[in-house]
Amino acid sequence: MDHLLSLVVFTPLVGMLLLLLIPGSNKQLIRYWANFVGLLGFVVSLPLMTGFNKGQAGYQFYEHADWIPSIGATYTIGIDGISLLLVLLTTFMGFISILCSWSAIQDRVKEYYAMFLLLQVGMLGVFVSLDFFLFYMFWELVLIPMYFIIGIWGGERKLYAAIKFFLYTAAGSVLMLLGILLLYFQYRAQFGVYTFEIAKLMNTTMPLDIQRWVFWALFLGFAVKVPMFPFHTWLPDAHTEAPTAGSVILAGVLLKMGTYGFIRFSLPLLPKASIDPFIVQVLAVLSIIGIIYGAMVSLMQKDWKKLVAYSSVSHLGFCTLGIFAMTPNGLTGSVIQQINHGLSTGMLFLVVGVIYERRHTREIAEYGGLAKVMPNYAVVFAIAMLSSAGLPMLNGFIGEFTILAGVFEINKLWAGLASSGVILAAAYLLWLYQRTMLGKVTNPKNEGLKDLNLREWAIFTPMIALCFWIGLYPKPLFDVLEKPVAQIVERVRPGYLQQQQQKLEAPIPAAAVLVEPRPAGHAQ
Amino acid sequence: MNFLDSIWLIPLFPLMGALIMLLFGRRLPNSVVRFICPGTIGFSFLLSVGAVIQLSSTAEKSHEFIQWFWMPAIKADWGFLLDPLSSVMILVVTGIGFLIHVYATGYMAHEGGFYRFFGYLNLFVFFMLILVLANNYLLLFVGWEGVGLCSYLLIGFYFEKKSASDAGMKAFIVNRIGDAAFILGMLYMFGLTGSVRFTQVAAWFESHHLPAETAAWGMLSTIALLFFIGATGKSAQFPLYVWLPDAMEGPTPVSALIHAATMVTAGVYMVARSHVLFELTPMTSEIVAVVGGFTAIFAASIGLVQNDIKRVLAYSTVSQLGFMFLAAGVGAYWVAVFHLVTHAFFKALLFLGAGSVIHGMSGEQDMRHMGGLKKYMPTTHWTMFIATLAISGIPGLAGFFSKDEILAQVYGSAHGSKALYVVGITTALMTSFYMWRLMYMTFYGTARSHVHAHESPKSMTVPLQVLAVGSVLAGWLAVPKLFGPVGFHTFSDWLEHYFGAEHGGHDIPELALTSLSVLAAVLGIWIASRIYLKVWDGPLYRALLNKWYVDEIYNYLFVNGLVKGGAKWMFWVDRNVLDGGVNGAGWMTRTVSTLAMWWDTWIVDGLVRFTAFTVKVAGYPARLIETGQVQTYALGFFIGVLALLGYFMAR
């Protein structure tokens, strides 16, 4: 099908429009319909996976149409391996979040699902757009439904969190827009026509200092979204106040828009700035601070959800560090870790959601000994925790390890510092687990809690299966990512790939002979 | 049947057992569980025996089997390697593992969560087999982390007990410190050799003829050191040993299997596996030997005064692992592995015996409340007696052969040293003392409590008896050269296929050394028999009793100081500086907006309204006329018309 990608992007929109026709009082029908659309969105995206040719470089499922010719805006969409994975993540996590809202949302059900489906369109649009104008439109589209989801269906401080989320990210986006426009006018100055198409903008040759300006402008937009230290403070509030599904989709997909932005736009469009030693150092250091700092702050949280939120800062630090290593392993690992973070942190938020629905509190001290009352829940939580802590055979390990491998090639110190995040992750997660799940049931309110129900199993089972699958057989992910990543690396570090290849095949690597020849007579 | 190509089945059986237990175990009766779980390990043992026999008849004594290409990032596959080293390990893991499983069916019979316990235990054996059968470092690391996880789960098996879950957490986190180093070492190794597969790495080292890093600290030394740091975590060496004594919170079969016989020896295995690397890095090897020696004597010193029967054994394990590293550090890898094997027998036996005592004493672990148990628990007594003879190094038993060989190598090998020998022999003396102190306090003298002790059931005592036989015979696999032609050297010959022939020829005064170690053992027994109940109330005694205050120091410096302190500070920064900045920006915006609103209302809009006011004032006279009433206008119009008419007519 020629318009498969458009179909994937706009299925939720059509679903939403039809949803609006259902009378708001018929909550059950609305739920069924929204869940159906969510599932449909996922099913429709599956042919992308089967039809994707991993051996082919460049974009696939490409669609192109003129939109506003006077300013050079087009409707250009297409995916490569990187966006393919993120699109699949989005359709999957979108369905999961819709499914997990079934009993959690009781007011304004119709508006809620409409917002979610709209959000879905925005996120998918971001990952498939190959035109900056279109991208920016989708990018901003995401903000609005998310703002309402937090602001209407959130917790006690929902308005504060929603407004903070909106303003903070919007401020970043505006600066990003300035960067886009700078690039846009640079192109116009060189080629005499206006265009927002990424492929064409790639041909712009810019002096380093202009590239730097554009880079920092885009950086602010993306860094706030990721969020990178020190732009992360909106995240704990937004996560804590958002309804469960909101947190899941926020952590699972929304944050990846930032990291995706770096990979898709910053690196290929601004190769010289991206490799600029100062910029690389600043970004790597911010990422490493994010890893350690996010983990340390997690340790101190008394609020279950906030703890998971700060752990996101730490995990996303790994993702950005992998990106700025700009090596094949770094980038590949980063994308895989983005998927993994979506799954494992998504699961951790779902775990909080399950208990929140039963007890309506997120205070860690309120719990303890839940493993006795809810044994199945304890197992699911344990798997989510271990996947997040990067235990081998589960997904998190594959991502983190690949990132570390990629970073190690460039800077051993960075890899060393980042690896401390692995230790701290075990600390804050195990401590959380101990305080909530282990010990005796001390709080009488926890005594009669019900274990996972069928719908909750239906949510967790596929996620757990994916975690194991990625942990045991990640090769398909690597295969899909190989070409696009190689392309980016080749653009940013020309010759690097070849050099690595030669190094591995060389008979005696120069680096191996580090030591002085041993003094004569000093026999072994 | 071709066992060699079926080695992947060896770990698969325990995995299936674990899955059955963890998925359906709750619905299975205990009688089925106690049949399935030891059964899977028994199958694995038989497969292992078959595979090892077939391996021994092959020419190259090494068989690699690759299942799938697993991790593209560092080209690691999911594959297994059976060679002399791993064959020794799988036999120990499945053989002793089987006995401990059988024992546990008796020991855990009255505990809740029977299926869960066996599920974890089977899972542990699965990961342990992955660890020792892996054909590359990354897959080894899978097993490495997996056994750590199972150790966490099993230490915290009584999860309602805070001390148990604390101990589990401590074990996991301390191990993670070593793991981080191990990961970095692996990445270094890949960066250097382009592979993490054992056979390829070894081939690379062979083909590149690298000089040993004797003169300067180089890349190889760094890799070796990172690996060793990983090993200190898993094998409980100084300074990362602190988790092992606490791990005794777990059920006793767990202590025997995981924290004595198998998992904790993973570090030794890994160092032996990397022997090519360590041989090239004498300085790191020296660190290994020194750390091993120090840990041996340090842990033994703490063991001298402990009163909890399992704690004594835990410190003894730390100390014995130190011996193994001592051997590896001086380049005697096969001896390290040899001691690993003999230790697995007698230490598993000691733990299981201690478990039997605890079982018989209805949960009592404090030796001060025991005594005179010999008559109530005869089988437990005589099996533990043999194990204690073995660990003290009495000739003819397993521990004698391996420990004596270690001491001989430390004394005489090219990398050995006399100082380390003194440390080793002193430790041997201390070992003999604390072990006999344990025996005396437990089995001899008069009963010091009124608990009615009883002998354990058959399912527990039979494994004890089998292990007791092993604790005698295992040593005879490698008889010292002192006994020359009478002995046989099956074990060392077998491992020579892997480690290469020993660079023999150094003059070791074996007879003198052997006599000295025997003397140390006997002296230890004698001292123990004199003073086993004595308590000296001095600073040294208190320091020993408090384990040299290491836990307190770690808590002060790292747990509360660095981590919690740092975390608190960072959270403060986060809330007040970073988020303070964001909220400050919000406040600024609101303030400026308020000002702007004032300006807008009073100045900008004021100007507009002032203009309006001016117009209004100026227009006021006109308003008087502009009434809006048509009649008035009509009247005005009429008057106007009349006036105009009048004017024109008057003119």
Residues B495-511 as b or e (16 or more Cβ within 10 Å = b): bebbbeebeeeeebebe
> Residue A434's closest chain B neighbor by CA?
B165
Instruction: Give the pLDDT of residue A524.
Output: 37
pLDDT band at B133 (very low <50, low <70, confident <90, very high): very high
pLDDT > 60? residue B334: yes
CB contact under 8 A, B574 and A509: no
**Using H for helix, E for strand and C for coil, what is the string for B593-643?**
HHHHHHHHHHHHHHHHHHHHHHHHHHHHHHHHHCCCCHHHHHHHHHHHHHH
pLDDT > 50? residue B525: yes
Q: Which of B478, B508, B337, B495 is nearest to B414 (CA)?
A: B508
pLDDT band at B502 (very low <50, low <70, confident <90, very high): low
Cα dihedral B260, B264, B268, B269 in deg (nearest 10): 100
pLDDT > 80? residue B26: yes
CB contact under 8 A, B216 and A405: no
Strand partners, B290: none
More confident residue, B377 or B208: B377
pLDDT > 70? residue A513: no
Q: For a pLDDT cut of 90, what percent of chain B falls above it?
A: 42
Residues of B in contact with A405 (CB under 8 A): 73-74, 187, 190
Residue B567 has its nearest CB partner, among A297, A332, A474, at A297
Distance from CA of B592 to the nearest CA of A (A): 16
3-state secondary structure (DSSP) of residue A349: helix
Specify the range with the lowest mean pLDDT, choosing from A264-268, B424-428, B486-490. Answer: B486-490
3-state secondary structure (DSSP) of residue A311: helix
pLDDT > 70? residue A509: no
Rounded to an integer, the average pLDDT of A85-99 is 94
Instruction: Give the pLDDT of residue B143.
Output: 94
Distance CA A108, CA B191 (A): 57
Rounded to an integer, the average pLDDT of B297-315 is 92
| Cβ proximity of A197 and A131 under 8 Å | yes
Q: Which of A164-173, A224-233, A456-465, B510-519 has the highest mean pLDDT?
A: A456-465
Is the CA virtual torsion B406, B410, B412, B418 positive or negative? negative
Instruction: Give the pLDDT of residue A107.
Output: 86
Distance from CA of A370 to the nearest CA of B (A): 10
Instruction: Give the pLDDT of residue B548.
Output: 85
- Longest distance between any two alpha carbons in chain A, whole Å: 93
Average pLDDT, chain A: 90
Residues of A in contact with B215 (CB under 8 A): 515-516, 518-519
CB contact under 8 A, A386 and B149: yes
Q: Residue B433 corresponds to which tokens in the numbers above?
A: 């003392």
Q: Which of A341, A181, A320, A335 is nearest to A247 (CA)?
A: A341
Residue A391 has its nearest CB partner, among B149, B564, B566, at B149
Q: Residue B159 corresponds to which tokens in the numbers above?
A: 């999860």
pLDDT digits 0-9 by tens, A321-364: 999 999 999 999 999 999 999 999 999 999 999 999 999 898 99
Residues of B in contact with A424 (CB under 8 A): 563
pLDDT > 60? residue B555: yes
| Cβ proximity of A194 and A72 under 8 Å | yes
pLDDT band at B388 (very low <50, low <70, confident <90, very high): very high
Rounded to an integer, the average pLDDT of B378-406 is 90
Element (DSSP H or E) covering residue A422? helix A412-437
Instruction: Give the pLDDT of residue A522.
Output: 42
| Cβ proximity of A31 and A109 under 8 Å | yes
Q: For a pLDDT cut of 90, what percent of chain A falls above it?
A: 73
pLDDT digits 0-9 by tens, A363-400: 999 998 898 899 899 999 999 999 999 999 999 999 99
Residues of A in contact with B566 (CB under 8 A): 296
pLDDT band at A520 (very low <50, low <70, confident <90, very high): very low
pLDDT digits 0-9 by tens, A237-253: 999 999 999 999 999 99
pLDDT digits 0-9 by tens, A31-82: 999 999 999 999 999 999 999 998 888 899 999 999 999 999 999 999 999 9
Strand partners, B63: B82
Instruction: Give the pLDDT of residue B624.
Output: 79
Instruction: Give the pLDDT of residue A34.
Output: 94
Strand partners, B134: B80
Instruction: Give the pLDDT of residue B481.
Output: 57
Instruction: Give the pLDDT of residue B482.
Output: 52
CB contact under 8 A, B166 and A473: no
Residues B536-566 as b or e (16 or more Cβ within 10 Å = b): eeeeeeeebeebeeeeeebeeeeeeeebbeb
Rounded to an integer, the average pLDDT of B56-85 is 87
pLDDT > 90? residue A113: yes
| Cβ proximity of B159 and B250 under 8 Å | no
Q: Which of B257, B106, B575 is nearest to A232 (CA)?
A: B575
pLDDT digits 0-9 by tens, B593-618: 899 889 888 888 888 889 888 988 98
Provide the CB-side half-sphere exposure for A473 (13 A, CA): 6
Distance from CA of B499 to the nearest CA of A (A): 16
Rounded to an integer, the average pLDDT of B134-141 is 93
Instruction: Give the pLDDT of residue A206.
Output: 87
pLDDT > 90? residue B128: yes
Q: Residue B523 corresponds to which tokens in the numbers above?
A: 């002296």
Give which of A327, A409, A430, A513 to mutate to test B binding, by max B Cβ within 10 Å: A430
3-state secondary structure (DSSP) of residue B456: coil
Instruction: Give the pLDDT of residue B503.
Output: 54
Rounded to an integer, the average pLDDT of A190-214 is 90
pTM greater than 0.80 (yes/no):
yes
Complex ipTM: 0.89
Instruction: Give the pLDDT of residue B501.
Output: 67
Residue A393 has its nearest CB partner, among B142, B574, B578, at B142
Pairing of strands A73-79, A60-68: antiparallel
Rounded to an integer, the average pLDDT of A187-211 is 90
pLDDT band at B57 (very low <50, low <70, confident <90, very high): confident
Q: For a pLDDT cut of 70, what percent of chain A falls above it?
A: 96
Rounded to an integer, the average pLDDT of B45-59 is 89
pLDDT > 80? residue A117: yes
Instruction: Give the pLDDT of residue A459.
Output: 93
pLDDT > 90? residue A287: yes
